[in-house]
């Protein structure tokens, strides 16, 4: 770490910092510059205590980290791209996967119709929320276990793999029975207890970026999963919260490229949440493919105008079909194969 | 709700919208304007399904809510300010409460020394984290149950009430035994399962605003607590995430005034998290008092430079003492009494 | 406009609002809902005074606009996509244009070498800053008129068209002599006097989105240009400011698609400013092409490590060459032809 | 500056960086850490070229500045607080100044009535916009020179000093004749040509923070004024743009305290723009006083509901009177005297 002292710090003040650096387990290396002294603290930042607490000293101006804070998720920790096997569907590498389905599971009819429709049009994984994190307690909260039963039915009928969100540590076990991928939503992106519990399930986990999460924090959330023994992790960019109000979130496509550079894990893009508007989903799917995403998570509903949640961002079957068709040349340009 | 149609929508398109509005339980009331038609949908928005899904129709430009989405937390639902009784300490009304203590409970010595120091200088509630939500899995995660034991010891020795954070639904029961107030942190501000579990404990709950939470969403998170039977809720503003990097967060003091206008619940300010810098805490406490806060949550540590977490934002005993002394005239100006 | 009154407003309070609506030129149309009264104000919002001032009345909860605030830039105002003719280079429609060159013009050698290099590799327009808006007064401010002379030289030698930024109303006239496109930078995105002056020059104008500009405000800034008689406008998305610090800005590729939906004007993407990192430029160019951009503005320098400004985001000649080559399949997928 | 190399950089790659550092005028000082090498570059960062361009080298991970980028505005450059003399009204030190008046000058009657009202209630400086920066070209743009004439009239009649915004370099000279303080608005916060022109006028300048401006950038904008010979500068916090939509901007009161720590210049708070809602202005004035502001800039209008601009954030005479009365105990607590 680098400790920058204020200009005009006295020699005893500098010595104090040097001693604290040593006490906290680093080898101090002072550099006396033109105007300010800097103390380089040599040591492994991931083993020793952080020196950021030295900011509490009045003579310290700033403390800067040198090393990256994540290890297992970083590209250096793996030999090439990780390919996550979702019960036979391989996510990552040259493959491109489409996960599609309704925001919420609303009924057997609704889910089965959607499952058949998205399967026919190119999806290999079915999404559908049984437990829904809703901003208001008065909104539809999902069908719960009945939703899981319907998802399982759809899996058996169509052969599609299932992804569904888990909201509670207590639900991990039974959600893991119905699901092939556990989804951790943006609101739980730093619910570390839930992350640890999902890690222990040994199911593949799709980890959404929190709506206010810096890329470093997103990587560290994934690190929680790997450090707790689960390396079948899919990262998912779903838009961040900014000042812009035209869209519900600002889809950060650069973050996809960055996550691919920083990490060996596959990266999925959720354009539905990413913009919150059905009319933009199609074009954002192209953008996602072009910047190197490994797959998409798309909300599809038989009749979006009457959906029980987030109808405004769900596309209907025909739009979904067009979307997949029009995506093909971009997948080809990106050297990807739809699985 | 108000459904705004695109200019040049045809009569059949307008009729479609009118029918959908009716189908979803509202009485439609079309208004044909100079350029655009607007359909006012009359009905209780908190009972019927939202019409936002109508955005999925191509002729719809936007859908706007009329009513506020929260009810029980709103000022209209109560007769004046709610005063929350924390085992004898009354929070709210004309009272002003100071909660202080270390970011993390690190040892018996550290906590007891801090408890005595803050009690002597004006605090009536002791804070201290036993379970810590840390961005990285490699950082100090708190002492857990041992931390709760030490908090309980401090309570018995000093008579201070205890506030501590709860991270997991599974911990609510045993944390509630050691704590007088359950704290829900910013990262769990929309962990609705945790909110519901805390509501059921019937302990007072301090609910921090999420770092990306709009005020409406914060109120709705509190609504989860009240709707699940717990009305002893303290709202806590602790800074939001913005582009500014000088501070860790941007303390939104206007939000304190807004929360006081919108809701009958007491509002606490956390200036330590709010700026992430010990050198700003003192002055932000004054600002909080001036805009109408009902109390403060301040991080205090015997030796911040060696703290195991967030040393940079913790003040030492002497600074804390000065802070309380210098706050006095501002409390007087605000018509508040320290309890 | 829609005026929403607070619940429990009295009849005289409602009448007051109705009278003010009438006084300000609209036809009031009150709707008495379940809990609240709403007054729809019928009239052309772009002609009458805004009713937002009615928020000042205590019984008014909110005032909402119905109509879009921009007219000339909106898609409805034109017959299909506008193609801007830049002295023979046609920007828009099925064409795709690459503008490339150094952040700053530093010397004759530097600019001419770059001009030749980017021309050979596919650019048809040369960028280069003669006047530089720098955050600090101690940083390199550009060569000024000497820079313009060098740009003109490069134009004559290579036949490339020239785009360069104008910072001051007083410079518009002489910059317009050396440039084929006047660039208005993000920091001047709401410098309306400069916009009006550029409009009057009758040169094509590239208008960057301000780093904190909502899409509506960006469209309205363009409206200033069109309303002042200049319709040869190129919109340019260059990243917005968010909490993320890995990149300098967050490139908002959804905004490109939105601008194409909302407006008939061509949209250019600046990936160099958009992320502030040379290592991401290549992949963001693909994303831009995929979401429907009409061209790119790319910073290219012979030796970025020694550039006098923004070296970290400039690519060298060889990277630029690879970038254009690798972009080709994405342009084809998008149905675009490089001009 | 500090150049951090990627882990596993080779010796020749390290040497390359060392050579570049030297070439750009610094003395390199390599430190070989546990995992990564860091090169400290010793030299005055405000004199030499920035090393940030070294980010363009593939072996460089990050480049960090050590020194602060501003000098003349920094607290170290002055002996205590600067007091700016506005034609006899002293701003800064223990004084507290209230500037008040309408958003726009609309007529002689409106301005004179307001001037008399605010003078009687405690203001010593009159604000009023003659040139208005409006988001849309179709909105009221101000009375221009006629507005300046009216401001001058009010000055002569009431003895109040005048502050008014200047939008164009070309207007600086004649605005400076009518105004005692030139105001640079948030949209022009990085219009450096306008800053330089205002500096040259030798009038006091109030510099608003841009709505997306980091504190460092705000200080550097002020540095443009001081470096161009004008040290009579008032900094003005007026809210930043965030995701929150309840308020128009998020007033950053911590920034006031920070600006007071970092700089010797007086700091004014604009609560009207800061929140965009008349109902919050009063309480935010108290917060501003409590965190150390040197004055306020408040929008006051005889009849806000019919104001030609920003009526929703203007208070009427009676509210303004109450505001000043209720502010008194907070000024006393802060040790300030109203001038």
DSSP string, B153-217: HHHHHH--EEEEE---GGGHHHHHHH-SEEEE-GGGTT-HHHHHHHHHHTS-EEEEPPTT--HHH
Q: Is the ipTM of this complex over 0.85?
A: yes
pLDDT at residue D205 in the model:
98
Q: Counting Cβ atoms within 10 Å, is residue B306 exposed (0-12), middle (13-18) or buried (19+)? A: middle
Confirm if D21 and D30 have CB atoms less than 8 A apart. no
Structure confidence at residue B33 as a pLDDT band (50, 70, 90)? confident
b/e sequence A300-313, b meaning 16+ C-beta within 10 Å: bbbebbbbbbbbbb
Chain C neighbors of D56, CB-CB under 8 A: 278, 304-305, 307, 311-312, 314, 316
Closest by CA position to C2, among listed D13, D145, B133, B1: B1
Q: Are D226 and D202 in contact (CB under 8 A)?
A: no
Tell me what the pLDDT averaged over chain B comes to. 96
Average pLDDT over residues C162-179: 96
Chains that touch C (3 or more CB pairs under 8 A): A, B, D
Return the residue matching tokens 């134009």. Answer: C155
Does any CB of chain B come closer than 8 Å to the CB of residue A245? Answer: no
Distance from the B208 Cα atom to the nearest Cα atom in chain C, whole angstroms: 20
Which residues in chain A touch residue D216, judged by CB atoms under 8 angstroms apart? none
Strands C2-5 and C60-64, sheet pairing: antiparallel
Give the model confidence (pLDDT) of C194-227 as tens digits: 999 999 998 999 999 999 999 999 999 999 999 9
Q: Is residue B106 over pLDDT 80?
A: yes
Angle at A128 between CA A124 and CA A132, to 5 degrees: 155
What's the pLDDT tens digit per position in A183-222? 999 999 999 999 999 999 989 999 999 999 999 999 999 9
Euclidean distance between the first and the last CA atom of chain B, given in angstroms as a whole number: 45
Residues forming a β-bridge with C162: C126
Among the partner residues A214, A215, A242, nearest to C240 by beta-carbon distance: A242
Looking at residue B240, what DSSP letter applies? B
The answer to whether A125 touches A158, Cβ cutoff 8 Å, is no
- Report residue B234: phi and psi, to 5°: -110, 125
> Number of helices (H) and strands (E), helices first, in chain A?
10, 15
Q: What number is the average pLDDT over the span C120-138?
A: 97
Are B181 and B203 contacting, i.e. CB atoms less than 8 angstroms apart? yes
Q: In terms of Cα–Cα distance, which of C90, C94, C70, C66 is closest to C258?
A: C70
Q: In what order do the strands lie in the sheet with D2-5?
A: D27-32, D37-42, D2-5, D60-64
Which of the four pLDDT bands, split at 50, 70 and 90, describes residue B82?
very high
D196: nearest Cα among D235, D166, D238, D240:
D166
A-D Cβ pairs (cutoff 8 Å, strict): 50
**Does the predicted model carry a pTM greater than 0.90?**
yes
**Would you say residue D49 has pLDDT above 90?**
no
Provide CB contacts within 8 A for D166, sequence distance 6+: D131, D172, D175, D176, D179, D182, D183, D184, D194, D198
Q: Mean pLDDT over residues C50-56, rounded?
A: 92
How far is residue C19 from each of residues C39, C47, C326, D110, D166, measured CA to CA in Å? 11, 19, 63, 21, 36
Type and span of the H or E element at D3 = strand D2-5
- Rounded CA separation B101/C207 (Å): 52
Q: What gap in Å lies between CA A322 and CA A19, rounded to an integer? A: 66
Chain D residue numbers with beta carbons less than 8 Å from the beta carbon of C23 are 306
- Predicted local distance difference test score (pLDDT) of residue A283: 98
Token readout for A312 is 């405004």
What's the pLDDT at B112? 98
> How high is the pLDDT of residue A44?
86
% residues pLDDT > 70 (chain B): 100
CA D113 to chain centre: 28
B140 contacts in chain A (CB < 8 Å): 49
Q: What is the rounded CA–CA span in Å between residue B111 and residue A215? A: 35
Tell me whether D59 touches chain C (CB under 8 Å): no
From the list B38, B44, B64, which residue is nearest C34 (CB)?
A: B44
Rounded Cα gap, residues C112 and A245, in angstroms: 43
Residue B312 has pLDDT above 80, yes or no: yes
**Chain B residues 71-110 with CB within 8 Å of chain A:** none
Spell out which residues of chain B touch residue D278, defining contact as CB-CB under 8 Å.
none
Average pLDDT on D3-24 reads: 95
Largest CA distance in chain A: 76
| pLDDT band with cut points at 50, 70 and 90 for residue A143 | very high
The closest of B174, B168, B227 to B194, measured between CA atoms, is: B168
Q: Which two tokens stand for residue C202?
A: 């009758």
Least confident residue range of C31-35, C280-284, D212-216: C31-35
Cβ-defined contact of D216 to B246 (cutoff 8 Å) = yes
D208/D230 Cα distance (integer angstroms):
16
CA-based max dimension of chain C: 76
What pLDDT score does B78 carry?
A: 95
Least confident of A41-50, B160-169, B210-219: A41-50
Q: Taking Cα atoms as reference points, which of B207, B227, B1, B195 lies closest to residue A139?
A: B227
Cβ–Cβ gap B42/C33 under 8 Å: yes
Q: What's the CATH architecture for B2-64?
A: 2-Layer Sandwich (3.30)
A89 has a pLDDT exceeding 90:
yes
**In angstroms, rounded to a whole number, what is the distance separating the alpha carbons of residues D60 and B279?**
33
Please name the residues in contact with D79: beta carbons below 8 A apart, sequence gap of 6 or more: none
Q: Locate the domains of chain D by residue range.
A: 2-64, 75-338
The two structure tokens encoding residue A227: 């450090």
Asked if C246 lies within 8 A of A214 by C-beta distance, the reply is yes
Burial class of B112 by CB neighbour count within 10 A (0 to 12, 13 to 18, 19+): middle
Average pLDDT, chain D: 96
- A47, pLDDT greater than 90: no
Q: Residue C310 and residue C238: Cα distance in Å, rounded?
A: 15
CA distance D165 to C191: 13
Give the nearest partner residue to D33 out of A66, A76, A242, using CB atoms. Answer: A66
Flag whether residue D307 sits within 8 Å of chain C, measured between CB atoms: yes
pLDDT(D33) > 90:
no
- State the number of CA atoms in the 13 A half-sphere of C83 facing the CB: 11
Tell me what the mean pLDDT of segment A107-120 comes to. Answer: 98
Inter-chain contact B254–D212, Cβ cutoff 8 Å? no
Residues C207 and D5: their CA atoms lie apart, in Å, by 37
For A248-297, the DSSP string reads: SSB--HHHHHHHHHHBSS-EEE-HHHHHS-HHHHHHHHHHHHHTT-SEEE
Architecture of domain A75-338: Alpha-Beta Barrel (3.20)
D273-278 average pLDDT score: 95
What pLDDT does residue D121 have? 98
Contact criterion met (CB < 8 Å) for D167 and C193: yes
Which segments of chain B are extended strands (E)?
2-5, 27-32, 37-42, 60-64, 84-86, 89-91, 95-101, 125-127, 161-165, 181-184, 205-208, 233-237, 267-269, 295-299, 337-338
């Amino acid at each position: 770490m680098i400790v920058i002292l204020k200009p005009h710090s006295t020699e005893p003040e500098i010595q104090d910092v040097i001693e604290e650096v040593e006490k906290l387990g680093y080898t101090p290396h002072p550099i006396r510059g033109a105007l300010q002294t800097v103390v380089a603290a040599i040591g492994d930042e991931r083993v020793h205590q952080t020196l950021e607490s030295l900011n509490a000293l009045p003579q310290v101006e700033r403390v800067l980290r040198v090393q990256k804070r994540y290890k297992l998720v970083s590209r250096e920790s793996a030999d090439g791209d990780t390919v996550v096997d979702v019960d036979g569907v391989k996510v990552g590498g040259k493959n491109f996967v489409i996960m599609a389905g309704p925001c919420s599971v609303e009924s057997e009819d609704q889910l089965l119709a959607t499952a058949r429709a998205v399967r026919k049009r190119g999806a290999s994984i079915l999404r559908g929320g049984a437990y829904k994190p809703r901003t208001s307690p008065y909104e539809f909260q999902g069908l719960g276990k009945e939703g899981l039963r319907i998802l399982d039915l759809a899996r058996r009928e169509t052969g599609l793999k299932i992804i569904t969100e888990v909201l509670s540590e207590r639900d991990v076990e039974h959600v893991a029975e119905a699901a092939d991928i556990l989804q951790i939503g943006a609101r739980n992106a730093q619910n570390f207890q839930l992350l640890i519990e999902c890690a222990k399930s040994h199911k593949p986990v799709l980890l959404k970026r929190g709506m206010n999460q810096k890329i470093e924090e997103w990587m560290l959330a994934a690190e929680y999963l790997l450090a707790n023994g689960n390396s079948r992790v899919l990262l998912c960019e779903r838009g961040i919260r900014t000042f812009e109000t035209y869209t519900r979130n600002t889809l950060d496509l650069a973050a996809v490229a960055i996550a691919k550079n920083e990490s060996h894990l596959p990266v999925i893009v959720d354009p539905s949440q990413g913009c919150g508007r059905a009319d933009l989903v199609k074009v954002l799917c192209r953008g996602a493919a072009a910047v190197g995403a490994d797959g998409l998570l798309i909300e599809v509903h038989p009749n979006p105008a009457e959906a029980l949640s987030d109808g405004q961002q769900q596309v209907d079957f025909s739009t979904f079909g067009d979307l997949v068709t029009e995506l093909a040349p971009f997948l080809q340009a990106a050297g990807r194969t739809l699985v």
